[in-house]
Amino acid sequence: MFVAGVVAGALLASTAIARAETRLTIATVNNGDMIVMQRLSSHFERQHPDIRLNWVVLEENVLRQRVTTDIATRGGQFDILTIGTYEVPIWAKQGWLAPLDDLPAGYAVEDVLTPIREGLSHDGRLYALPFYGESSMTFYRKDLFDDAGLTMPAQPTYEQVTEFARTLHDPANQRYGICLRGKPGWGENMAFVSTMVNTFGGRWFDMEWNPAIDTPEWHRAVGTYIDLLRNYGPPGASSNGFNENLALFANGQCAMWIDATVAAGMLYNPGQSRVHDKVAFAQAPVGSWEKGNAWLWSWALGIPSTSQKADAARQFVTWATSADYVGLVAEEEGWVAVPPGTRASTYARAEYTAVAPFAEFVLAAIQSADPVKTTRDPKPYIGIQYAGIPEFQAIGTQVGQTIAAALTGQVTVEQALKSAQSATERTMRQAGYR
């Protein structure tokens, strides 16, 4: 497989012959899979002696504001951007991204999981190639459930989860019934809360783009969320994001945790988790409506339309998202470290499913996630845990703040949703939706 990569690379390189060295600037997130990519990129540079790679690795928030500023002002600082399913369709619509049609046959674009591919497309054209993908799921402690004589169903409901959390909550021993995201932010607490809203029958906007936040569905969803976390959650829940919860769960302090599927690889890793032999999983819980309960996200590599080096950039992007790259990671880092959630072929490998007991489950979760038809009532936007409009970052963060305030008891759920509703109405009016 690796040899095939070299040959393909050599063929690609030969088309770029007699060109001076090209420097590509790549902006990426500091997550583990990207760090591996940075390390393994020396293989790419060896295959393409005429291309040099400059890495800009930043934390997610900083990276997002950095690349958005650059692309929106056409600053032209980057040749390859790491962006998510939220940005890609919006930016593609603005003409900021170069379309990625006519991919080489060897790339096998149909191998890329359909929901991910659709999430990275606009008007039927692909604008970014997925590096890894994730959905959300329920993690729980098998040992604690067994001791308490509880059984986690394959598809739990929030009612059951509340019951489990009540039974297993043991704050005196610093073990908490459930850990959930509470840190405000559109990609933090609102990613989770949005899935709860979906599965309790709610949505962000009605078909006329009126915010639908101050509604009975949101009340039920947010009410359940706050009950869960305030009664059975860890202290400090309002500042816990993915990492904080990962630390708690890995340290044995959560009985349950509902979060991104990428956490599975970390929780099963003995070097990162004290509970690697005690963790088990189930699907993300449902409420009164059985869809939209799990999110869909993918970090992907895109090329700005302003890039002068689009050809070289394309070579790197196709290399880093190819099945050969997956093979290379497996060879160098082991199968458990391969970037998950993008290609069916990864899940077809026995080597992968052997070391990753959660593999099939994650695949199923991603394949069943549908960014278009998730809510009970029709919605005008695309996205499960977000609404795919430019204004959503600010709206999500603002609403996330209000819900965090309700979580800490500063305001009631009623007040929180009322003020979230009016703040969102203001923003939408300012943005010209009305």
Partner 1 sequence: MPSSAALGVAPTANAPARRPARRSLSTLPFLAPSVIVLLLWMIVPLAMTLHFSFIRYNLLNPALGGFAGWSNYEFLLTDPALWTALANTLLLVGWVLVITVGLGTLLAVLFDQDFPGRGIARLLVIAPFFVMPTVSALIWKNLMMHPINGVMAFVSRSLGFTPVDWFAEFPLTSVIIIVAWQWLPFALLILLTAIQSLDHEQREAARMDGAGPVSMFVFIILPHLGRAIGVVVMIETIFLLTVFAEILVTTSGGPGLATTNLAFLIYMRALLEFDVGGASAGGVIAIVLANIVAFFLVRAIARNLAT
Partner 2 sequence: MQSTRSRIVHAALGWTVALVMFFPIFWMLLTGFKTEMDAIATPPTLFFAPTLENYAEVHQRADYLRFAGNSVVISFAGTALAIALAVPAAYAMAFFPTKRTRSTLLWMLSTKMLPPVGVLVPIYLLARDSGLLDTRTGLVIIYTLINLPIAVWMLYTFFKEVPHEILEAGRMDGAGPRQELVHLLLPLAVPGIASTALLLLILCWNEAFWSLNLTAANAAPLTAFIASFSSPEGLFWAKLSAASTMAIAPILVLGWFSQRQLVRGLTFGAVK
Indicate which single residue of 58, 103, 109, 431 sits in contact with partner 2 (rule: CB under 8 A): 58
40 binds partner 2 (CB under 8 A): no
From the list partner 2, partner 1, none, partner contacted by residue 370 (C-beta under 5 to 8 A by kind): none
From the list partner 1, partner 2, none, partner contacted by residue 266 (C-beta under 5 to 8 A by kind): partner 2
415 binds partner 2 (CB under 8 A): no
**Tokens coding 55:** 């890495």
Counted residue by residue, the chain has a size of 434
From the list partner 1, partner 2, none, partner contacted by residue 57 (C-beta under 5 to 8 A by kind): partner 2
From the list partner 2, partner 1, none, partner contacted by residue 125 (C-beta under 5 to 8 A by kind): none
**Tokens coding 259:** 């979060």
The three-state secondary structure class of 57 is strand
Q: How far apart are CA 324 and CA 150, in angstroms?
A: 43
Contact predicate 222/144, CB 8 Å: no
What residues line the site for partner 1 (CB under 8 A)?
Answer: 61, 65, 68-69, 72-73, 90, 94, 174, 183-186, 234-239, 244, 247-248, 251, 253, 390-391, 393-394, 397-398, 400-402, 404-405, 407-408, 410-411, 419, 423, 426-427, 430-432
DSSP string, 383-417: -SSS-SSTTHHHHHHHHHHHHHHHHTTSS-HHHHH
Indicate which single residue of 253, 261, 318, 321 sits in contact with partner 2 (rule: CB under 8 A): 253
Burial (0-12, 13-18, 19+ Cβ within 10 Å), 292: buried
From the list partner 2, partner 1, none, partner contacted by residue 337 (C-beta under 5 to 8 A by kind): none
Q: Report which secondary-structure segment, H or E, holds 324.
A: helix 323-333
**For residue 141, how many C-alpha atoms fall within 13 Å in the half-sphere facing its CB?**
26
Q: How far apart are CA 85 and CA 121, in angstroms?
A: 9
Which single residue is written with the structure tokens 């997956």?
A: 326
59 binds partner 2 (CB under 8 A): yes
78 binds partner 2 (CB under 8 A): yes
Contact predicate 152/282, CB 8 Å: yes
430 binds partner 2 (CB under 8 A): no
231 binds partner 2 (CB under 8 A): no
90 binds partner 2 (CB under 8 A): no
Q: How many CB atoms lie within 10 A of CB 94?
A: 12
From the list partner 1, partner 2, none, partner contacted by residue 308 (C-beta under 5 to 8 A by kind): none
Binding residues (CB under 8 A) for partner 2: these are 25, 27, 29-32, 35, 38-39, 54-62, 65-66, 69, 73-78, 174, 241-243, 246-247, 250-251, 253, 260, 262, 266, 271-272, 274
